[in-house]
Structure 1
Amino acid sequence: MSAQTDCFVHDRLPPREQWPQMRYDLPELRLPDRLNLVEELLDKAADKGWADRPMLRSPKITLTYADARERVDRIARVLVEDLGLVPGNRVLLRGGNSIGMALAWLAVVKAGMVAVATMPLLRARELGEIIDKAQPAVALCDAKLVDELQLAREGRPGLREIVLFNAPDQAGSLAVRAAQKPGDFAACPTAADDIALLAFTSGTTGKPKAAVHSHRDVLASCEAWPRHVLKATPDDIVMGSPPLAFTFGLGGLLVFPMWAGASVYFPDIPYTPEAMVKLIGEVGATICYTAPTFYRQMAPFARQHGVPTLRQCVSAGEGLPDATRQLWKQATGIEMLDGIGATEMFHIFISSAGADVRPGAIGKVVPGYQAKVVDDEGQEVPRGTVGKLAVIGPTGCRYLDDARQSNYVQGGWNFPGDAFVQDADGYFFYQARADDMIITAGYNVGGPEVEDALLRHPAVAECGVVGKPDEDRGMIVKAFCVLKPGHEPGPELVKALQDHVKATIAPYKYPREIEFLPSLPRTETGKLQRFKLRQAAR
């Protein structure tokens, strides 16, 4: 029986026939029907001998698992006793990566509410769309980011209160209220299928969607990729750039370290490539999460300063060009751990590490999941053939009140929207987003493959490749390039880059048009917004 008395999310789930089939094939995925995610990860840490081990680190403070539990319990009491929230209420969370943000997220979920974390760079209009969709009763907001949220709240009386965190001395702040509460709170007795969070997609294709995930979904994710591929230990110190409001960041920088008894370091300054490399050395970080573009920018600083404690470097969020993988390996000696996941699936479902890495491949399917490459009718295609990726496992897509559900889930399988090739050994090779495949004069060209070739040229810092409508060829390959300092755009460089691509990959894949830009459009999580490049190309 559900403990969530506010059924807003449950009532707006897709019709049952549109749900993905959930598979719990491994023994560790067969979880009890009643569980609270935070009780499992935080309250039971003491039973595993982790109570006095560090959990959350910053330049100013380190909290053990026992310290964090006490603070989470105080915040949970504020939510229930002061703010009058009940299980199932949505709580909007607005903040960058910090101990305060992590504690607030854990308290919301432990108290049985639904966490709605939002990217820190969102403006009032975007926040307003999320508020309209999720209907949160209360917001917990970093004091530095409250202005846009206050603007978004105007005319939306359903969001009845904004409580500030990371404002320890401010009257009415979360810290001041929590300090007056006892440090014990019994976790809400949620059903495993009660909702823990709404995760808004990062908007690479336009209007974001809200993916719904239960307590069972998140804990099952812990038993898949972290257990079988990442293999973190209690001695690991984790760092990274993806926001906690992004499922890549929530898993990598909070949930998965807690599952392993590890600790996470949150800096008090924004990451730059050089600052991250230096902090890895100062903190002794052993696991790093960031996007391929950031690894590429970090590589010269890693070569200069060294990263002696680092043992795992996880890349996800967008396709990893092999040029970037090799650049990082040359700089550090570390074989990057690539993975593909989805907000809709919570986290990574195809990945390989260490000796299992194959050049150019993302990896094999993560234990607990099944994946195949299919045609437009959903029939599996022969190995070596380009098709659409279909995935099934212990997590799956359920959108909140969104007609696009039937696009993502078909016949019980999840279709993340990616074009892949699977080889005879079961390795998956990313081609492009399915809608980014460029069909030019009858040839299929994957934008990421052309991008990888361009990135191997010494003049190119970043690039994005899309199809541009063309009367004669249907489409042509068009590249948008950001140049490294010291290189000037011009016809000579265009020809040099075109010749370079022709010499690197099949000549028909070369970009017939190249445009130089000062920067590329990206989401807050670092993903390239190819839809904006396609609009520009048209």
Structure 2
Amino acid sequence: MNHGDTSRERGRRGATAHVDTFARDHLPPPDQWPGLDLDIPTPPGQPGPPGLRHPDRLNCADELLSGPPADRPVFLTPAGPAWTYGELRARVDRIAHLLTGDLGVVPGNRVLLRGPTTPWLAACWLAVLKAGAIAVTVLAQQRPHELATLCDIARVRHALCDVRAVDDLVRAEVPGLRITTYGGDAPDDLLNRPAPEGPYPAVDTAADDVALIAFTSGTTGRPKGCMHFHRDVLAIADTFSRHVLRPRPDDVFAGSPPLGFTFGLGGLVIFPLRAGASALLLEQATPRQLLPAIAEHRVSVLFTAPTAYRTMLDALDGHDVTSLRRCVSAGENLPAATWHAWHERTGLRVINGIGATELLHIFISAADEDIRPGTTGVPVPGWHARVQDEHGDPVPDGEPGLLAVRGPVGCRYLADPRQRVYVRDGWNITGDTYVREPDGYFRYVARADDMIISAGYNIAGPEVEDALLRHPDVVEAAVVGRADRARGQVVVAYAVLKEGAARDAEALRVFMKTELAPYKCPREIVFLDALPRTATGKLQRFRLRGPAYPGGDQQ
């Protein structure tokens, strides 16, 4: 199998359209590039290849906007009429005119985008890409010091910000940053400025010009800027979405992840636009807000995290979810217990998947009858995966090792020495411990740094978490290792219980002994009101290991 040649892929790059070449100049050196696979097998019964080998000139925003009929709805909100594709195109063109006219943005400039999930934020994202600039979409929850760090790493000098989210961006005091608000009443607000009429001709970007910089969500250490090309944006739609999700033009997408999280960017903007479908964009999308929205807007494709599915189970009564036909879970491993409970209550088979900011979206998954609860699935068409040891040698099926993947998208950190850690011999090493079963299915074990070694036993924290979640009173669970002189580490479990449930650690321990081998059972169980999570909902186990939490290491 030809997995591509990293030097060849770098050598075939088209002439950049970027005037500001900062991003291109700070790509990793050639010998640290991932190998790319741009050929895709066509599964039996499906149409031919979707064309991962794009022409040398490609503007992904223009491509996403150019197909569907003008009168078809594209973005819905709880308040106000739906936007049509024709209206979206006109608004994107207007913003692009303003970016390159009044605001002085040139191709290759990084433009920070900040605000809750709204059609205007999506339109700004598309306009930035159509104008040949680079979108840096951040989370509305991030605080001034976090924003200052991201702007420093990406050398951001322009920002489009929802007027309701501008205060913290101002407080970040980013040198030279020009902030333009949208959604306000001021004459210089983006939406109130006079702009040229008519279409905006998309900048003739190279397929491998950087289109976006997505920052890792901060589960560990300093965030890393992940640079993705125009062709990458289409590749995730033409692999996972096209071959696993299989959307239809009449689908209505919705979900909880924000657009600053690539899980949400794909699920709420890229995938519906590529399919000519529509998306319900919710500013607030907690589990209890999702359920009535699904019923009211007849949502058919749902993107959210395992915790949300589990929370929604307790609130399903009285809510109509019969419009759903596709439920996608990512961001964290989906416990088999949650999968079975959702299927039992709704009849729907949750599509589990593993993705990464470094690889833009999901690369291992399965749908429909191919789903096997308790596994993530198989490589998405166009992707390849294996399990290897720390030296890069494949391990036998059934044995745990590091997950390595490669496909049409690869990790390219922005001027970050951790590139050498993530990409090795052309493979992307995701930091997950996996087992490949003899039948080719991949089963998640743990994040590589979440393996607990206690008295010589290897214990996967997520396995213990899954067992805890089988208890009817446990809503959320997290398991970490705590340093111990005698055993090296001991297992400490943190649990969030249903409202009104008794915090009885001994009863939970008795239950766990019926679910797991004794050496895997927690030595200590700590009850919390909530687990520490990132703004995108990912569990921050490293914080539980610290002195701020009961049971954490004190040294």
Both structures adopt the same fold (TM-score exceeding 0.5): yes
Is the 8 Å Cα contact of residues 97 and 195 (structure 2) preserved in structure 1? Answer: no
TM-score normalized with structure 1 length = 0.96
Distance (whole Å) between structure 2 residues aligned to residue 230 and residue 170 of structure 1:
42
Q: Mean Cα displacement is larger for which, 23-32 or 242-251?
A: 23-32
Deviation track 1:142-201 (CA, whole Å, cap 9, x = no partner) reads 11011000011x2x3321x2111122x321111112x53313100000000001000000
1:436 & 1:166 partners in 2: Cα distance? 43
The root-mean-square deviation of aligned C-alpha atoms, in Å, is 1.1
1:430 Cα deviation from its structure 2 partner: 0.5
After TM superposition, the structure 1 = structure 2 runs for residues 351-500 of structure 1, keeping only pairs within 5 Å, are: 351-489=365-503, 493-500=504-511
- Cα deviation code 1:418-456 (max 9, x no counterpart): 000110111111011001111112221111111111011
Instruction: Measure, in 2, the Cα distance between the counterparts of 1:273 and 1:203.
Output: 23
Separation (CA, whole Å) in 1 of partners of 2:214 and 2:195:
31
Higher helix share: 1
Deviations 1:291-345 (A, max 9, x none): 1111111112224323010011100011111111122112211110100000000
8 Å Cα contact 2:433/2:447 also seen in 1 = yes
2:281 aligned with 1:266, yes or no? Answer: yes
Partner SS, residue 280 of structure 1: helix
User: Is the Cα–Cα contact under 8 Å of residues 340 and 373 in structure 2 kept in the other structure?
Assistant: no
Structure 1 residue 174 and structure 2 residue 193: aligned? no
Q: Report the counterpart of residue 133 of structure 2 in structure 1.
A: 113
Q: Deviations over 1:73-121 (max 9, x none)?
A: 0000000011111100000101111011000000000100000001110
CA contact 2:253–2:300 (8 Å) conserved in 1: yes
244, 248, 253: which one aligns with 1:238: 253
What is the SS of the residue equivalent to 1:325?
A: helix
**Within the alignment, does 1:527 sit opposite 2:546 as a pair?**
no
State which of 36, 41, 45 in structure 1 corresponds to 2:67. Answer: 45
Identical columns (%): 53
The residue aligned with 1:165 is 182
Please, which of 505, 510, 519 is the counterpart of residue 521 of structure 2? 510
Provide the secondary structure at the position in 2 that maps to 1:495.
Answer: helix
Residues in 2 aligned to 1:2 and 1:285: alpha-carbon distance in whole angstroms: 40
Tell whether 2:58 aligns with 1:35. yes
Paired position in structure 2 for 1:341: 355
Residue 534 of structure 1, CA deviation? 1.6
CA distance in 2, matches of 1:112, 1:357: 40
Q: For the residues of structure 2 that align with 1:119 and 1:451, how far apart are their CA atoms?
A: 28
Would you say 1:123 and 2:143 are equivalent positions? Answer: yes
Instruction: Indicate whether 1:84 and 2:104 are aligned.
Output: yes
Could you list the runs of 4 or more consecutive aligned residues of structure 1 that deviate by over 3 angstroms after TM superposition?
none
Structure 2: how far apart are the matches of 1:378 and 1:487? 47
Displacement of 1:238 in angstroms is: 0.5
Question: How far 1:25 moved relative to its partner?
Answer: 1.7
Distance in 1 (CA, whole Å) between partners of 2:495 and 2:53 is 48
8 Å CA contact 2:256–2:286 kept in 1: the answer is no
Q: Distance in 2 between matches of 1:530 and 1:262?
A: 37
> Would you say the 8 A contact 2:32–2:423 is kept in 1?
yes
CA distance in 1, matches of 2:114, 2:32: 31
Question: Partner residue of 2:4?
Answer: none
Paired residue for 2:161? 141
Partner Cα distance (1:443, 1:303) in 2: 43
Letter aligned with residue 187 of structure 2: A
Alignment correspondent of 2:204: 189
2: distance between equivalents of 1:301 and 1:308?
15
The answer to whether 1:57 aligns with 2:101 is no
User: CA deviation digits over 1:461-495, x for unaligned, max 9?
Assistant: 21110111111111111101112112232xxx222
Deviations 1:334-368 (A, max 9, x none): 11010000000000000001100112001111010
2:211 match: secondary structure: strand
Distance 1:444 1:475 in 2: 10
Q: Which runs of 5+ in 1 are unaligned?
A: none
Q: 1:289 aligns with which of 303, 307, 310?
A: 303
SS in 2 for 1:520: coil
Contact 1:303 1:332 in 2 (8 A): no
Amino acid at match of 1:233: R
Q: CA offsets per residue over residues 6-56 of structure 1, 9 Å max, x none?
A: 0001111111101101111224211111100011110x214xxx3221111
Distance 1:264 1:375 in 2: 41
- 1:394 and 1:509 map into 2 onto residues whose CA distance is 39
Q: What is the distance in 2 between the residues matched to 1:273 and 1:371?
A: 32
- Partner of 1:223: helix, strand, or coil? helix
DSSP 3-state at the match of 1:344:
helix
Distance 2:396 2:180 in 1: 55
Q: Secondary structure at the match of 1:445?
A: strand
Q: Which amino acid counterpart does residue 196 of structure 2 have in structure 1?
A: K
Q: Does structure 2 conserve the Cα–Cα contact (< 8 Å) formed by 1:306 and 1:332?
A: no
Contact 1:315 1:338 (C-alpha < 8 Å) held by counterparts: yes
State the 1:516 CA deviation. Answer: 1.1
Partners of 1:175 and 1:264 in 2: CA distance: 22
Q: Which moved more, 1:102-111 or 1:324-333?
A: 324-333
Match of 1:204 in 2: 219
The residue type paired with residue 265 of structure 1 is L
Report the Cα distance in structure 2 between the residues aligned to 1:118 and 1:377, rounded to whole angstroms. Answer: 36
* 8 Å Cα contact 1:141/1:165 also seen in 2: yes
The CA deviation at 1:514 is: 0.9
Q: Distance in 2 between matches of 1:261 and 1:477?
A: 48
Q: Distance in 2 between matches of 1:259 and 1:189?
A: 20
Answer whether contact 1:93 1:116 (CA < 8 A) is retained.
yes
* Alpha-carbon shift at residue 405 of structure 1 (Å): 0.6
Cα distance in structure 1, aligned partners of 2:415 and 2:229:
16
Q: Which runs of 5+ in 2 are unaligned?
A: 1-14, 41-48
Please tell me the residue identity of whatever aligns with 1:250: L
Name the structure 2 match of 1:93: 113
Letter in 2 for 1:170: A
SS in 1 for 2:430: coil
Equivalent-residue separation in structure 1 for 2:169 and 2:80 (angstroms): 27
